[in-house]
A and B are shown apart, each in its own frame.
Chain A
């Protein structure tokens, strides 16, 4: 068990390092640099003294050899220092720290809705004996995954904010402001939950133990919830990692549509401004969330099914 845990943690650290390195190289390779970006934003005539640009590049250290910049930046990143945002001058960690609670609120609410909606659809679709209803319910998840989040957001704003005037169209103000963005974000996420859960529920219901339980006289509801759902929840748990990725990616769109402050907006702004330190911070932070979610799943697995550790040990230790 300890070996399993260490291995999973090492993998997580490796992914974080790779995310940092790849993003560093990609950002370095891209044309333009943050200093020209700063100058370009203020000067539509492009009239900036090259000497001043050079001085700024020196100030931010962009004039040093790339390996030196990389080594120094990585060294600081390990200690949790991602430098200062080029566009605002604020430390990257505090920019991200300020945005985080807003995004957690949004993604938390969306995740809750997604599990309730997605789980509800999956359970109902597999429980019902009416063929048409099952077909209808099973056709919802692919629809939910494929409609563009952007469009869903605008549609909800149009109907529930501009016309019905039930909720504000933008901003971070309280629970009412959270409803529309959370629903928007919950639709693709919930669809994913429904897809995976429905599939594994259907598989589970075909298993022999279900027949056994049925023969012993267990009711349909009991079989569905106690036996099938319990076994089907393991594959569904695997998608939690995917969900984390989906929620982070979705927050960029949702926060832009609903003008919400948060990590997604920070990301969009950082990319637009070629704010290299901030983009790097966002990438590593996103990877951290993704990796943590997967790590938790990996660590919860053996609790649900002890066979997983045994299997894993056999694979990793050839000796």
Chain B
């Protein structure tokens, strides 16, 4: 390695030339591999899938992790009581072969499948499920997702060895969907008894199609196929064991290194593909797979108690002044859709309110005029000496946040609203919401159940956005107490309409999960929460 310095610099020049021309060339190629990889050819067993993710949350306990990069791997270790069809949002059997829900949605009785074992050899019984549901609330802030799903639980009782009943203090229709998530994945009783830290660092024994064989923090998670697995979700195409022998999740923080590694065949799939890497990945032996995350879309969450924002006309003007399509085109990955409701279109009971969210700067201006806000010499409106100025707090949890907000800033400036952007650390998100010290915050919530509207906007819960009590509460409460899917759908639609028409929040864009997957990888599919299911995946 003691190469002569001047040849070294020559090599650098050559290297730079190669890189530059490479980028130009790949920029010219097109072809867009959207959707799931084809199922041509015969599925075969065996092989290792190497998946590069951007981060490691430092934990391999499904009940505790909340970040997609960790969920991709740990999801494969546990099974859930139910599964959710990503196309219809319908809840279907998995570890529970059937269930009964009381008409007021306070009591959920699950009838368990027989013959299910955990990787530590123990058997699935009603007691194990009870142990899990009793332990999860004790994880507290370490497991915010799981704990939220079980909030308000009165008790979990063992009816008989294969029947377990969960009772809530109040109607809680979301719980059925919650049982399909990785957060309420069922772990063996021995695992449940470990301390949260032990579960994080050593992993847990689940009944899933893969078992954890190695975890090196910040480096990799290695999973092995569970032999004789025979209790897969009713949604899976293959019965019995998974196809792949091994899954290796490598932590590769640099987005460019992830996409380069995929292109050069060093890995088979990558997570978090941004707009910047799309061009490089197109045209090669790679498919880009994308799906909108269900739940609350990226939005400006308004603090409705602020004097400026108490006026519905101002809020409606803000809603009309945002050109969502322009933001999508300029900032977000191909295929991302502008918000057409407060919920993303992949959420069950989503209602298309697109017309209410169309861009109309003229109407926004006239609403502000009518509300008494006069344009000053600097282009910013004011009323009684107060400027029409909003501070938007935002957090560095996605590369698209800043450019999207800067564009919104320009769009609102055009109708006379001055937007000040204030970046905070992601760790300050929760404290900021709790303190109420904001005009607006930029954020989203992923959840494949419309009850997320109640947790976010009911005035009877945390009410971080300081909504006034209104008929919206009634709609949100009643949907939580309705087991009938059609009736629930009507109520959820009403709630969405109220949220949008009163302009309590400004929905902007759906969050899209985009994966890069080598073409030789088949059936790497999204689940209902836009995370991955790898039981049916094969390499050929």
Contact = CB atoms under 8 A, between A and B. Distances in A.
Interface of A: 31-32, 35-50, 52-53, 55-56, 84-85, 87-90, 95, 113, 116-117, 120-121, 124, 133, 136-137, 140, 154-159, 161-163, 165, 168-172, 183, 256-259, 261, 265-266, 269, 273-274
A159 B15 contact: yes
A41 B431 contact: no
B282 to A, nearest CB: 16
B427 A40 contact: yes
27 contacts: A31-B428, A32-B425, A35-B141, A36-B430, A40-B431, A46-B432, A47-B144, A47-B148, A89-B196, A89-B197, A89-B201, A90-B201, A120-B5, A124-B5, A154-B257, A157-B257, A161-B260, A161-B264, A169-B257, A169-B260, A169-B261, A169-B264, A169-B266, A170-B252, A259-B251, A269-B218, A273-B427
Q: List the 6 closest A-B pairs by CB distance, nearest first.
A: A89-B197, A42-B66, A43-B144, A37-B427, A46-B430, A52-B140
Nearest to B67: A41
Contacts of B250: 170-171, 259
Given A39-B144, A43-B145, 17 more contacts: A38-B141, A41-B67, A41-B426, A42-B145, A44-B397, A44-B445, A47-B148, A48-B141, A87-B58, A117-B2, A140-B9, A154-B257, A159-B15, A162-B263, A259-B250, A265-B218, A269-B56
A133 B6 CA distance: 9
Given A45-B456, A120-B2, A32 B428 contact: yes
A136 B144 CA distance: 60
B12 to A, nearest CB: 8
Contact of B462 (A32, A39, A47, A55): A47
A26 B94 CA distance: 50
Given A32-B427, A53-B141, A56-B141, A157 B5 contact: no
B386 to A, nearest CB: 28
Interface string B418-461: 00000001111111111000000001111000001001100001
B141 A52 contact: yes
A85 to B, nearest CB: 8
Contacts of B430: 36, 39-40, 43, 46, 48
B104 interface: no
B256 interface: yes
A159 B67 CA distance: 32
B66 A259 contact: no
Interface string B1-34: 1100110010010011011001000000000000
Given A46-B433, A170-B261, A89 B144 contact: no
A90 B1 CA distance: 39
Nearest to B6: A136
Interface string B486-499: 00000000000000
Of A39, A52, A133, A170, the most chain B CB neighbours within 10 A belong to: A170
Of A53, A136, A169, A269, the most chain B CB neighbours within 10 A belong to: A169
Interface string B245-287: 0000011111011001101101000000000000000000000
Interface of B: 1-2, 5-6, 9, 12, 15-16, 18-19, 22, 52, 56-59, 64-67, 140-145, 147-148, 195-197, 200-201, 216-220, 250-254, 256-257, 260-261, 263-264, 266, 296, 397, 425-434, 443-446, 452, 455-456, 461-462, 464
Of B5, B66, B143, the most chain A CB neighbours within 10 A belong to: B5
Contact of B253 (A124, A140, A256): A256
A163 B427 contact: no
Nearest to A53: B141
Contact of A88 (B16, B197, B253, B433): B197
A249 B195 CA distance: 35
B428 A170 contact: no
Contacts of B445: 44-45
Given A44-B444, A265-B218, A266-B218, A38 B142 contact: yes
Of A50, A162, A266, A269, the most chain B CB neighbours within 10 A belong to: A162
A87 B446 CA distance: 22
Given A42-B144, A256-B253, A161 B218 contact: no
Contacts of A88: 58-59, 197, 200-201, 217
Contact of B252 (A31, A52, A158, A259): A259
A312 B79 CA distance: 70
A172 B263 contact: no
Contacts of A158: 15, 18-19, 22, 260
A180 B59 CA distance: 29
Contact of B260 (A35, A37, A162, A172): A162
Of A36, A165, A266, the most chain B CB neighbours within 10 A belong to: A36
Contacts of A261: 216-219
Nearest to B265: A165
Given A44-B66, A44-B444, A162-B264, A89 B200 contact: yes
A56 B140 contact: yes
A146 to B, nearest CB: 14
A60 to B, nearest CB: 11
B256 A42 contact: no
Of A41, A85, A259, the most chain B CB neighbours within 10 A belong to: A41
A49 B455 contact: no
Of A43, A84, A87, A269, the most chain B CB neighbours within 10 A belong to: A43
Of A35, A47, A121, A258, the most chain B CB neighbours within 10 A belong to: A47
A194 to B, nearest CB: 9
Nearest to B199: A89
Nearest to A54: B141
B229 to A, nearest CB: 28
A40 B22 contact: no
Contacts of B145: 42-43
Nearest to A157: B257
A183 B1 contact: yes
Contact of B257 (A32, A35, A116, A259): A259
Of B58, B425, B443, the most chain A CB neighbours within 10 A belong to: B58
A87 B429 CA distance: 17
Contacts of B433: 46
Contacts of B143: 42
Nearest to B427: A37
A43 B216 contact: no
Contact of B5 (A40, A41, A137, A266): A137
A40 B264 contact: no
Given A42-B65, A137-B5, A154 B256 contact: yes
Contact of B19 (A159, A165, A256): A159
A42 B64 contact: yes
B364 to A, nearest CB: 29
A44 B5 contact: no
A263 to B, nearest CB: 11
A259 B261 CA distance: 12
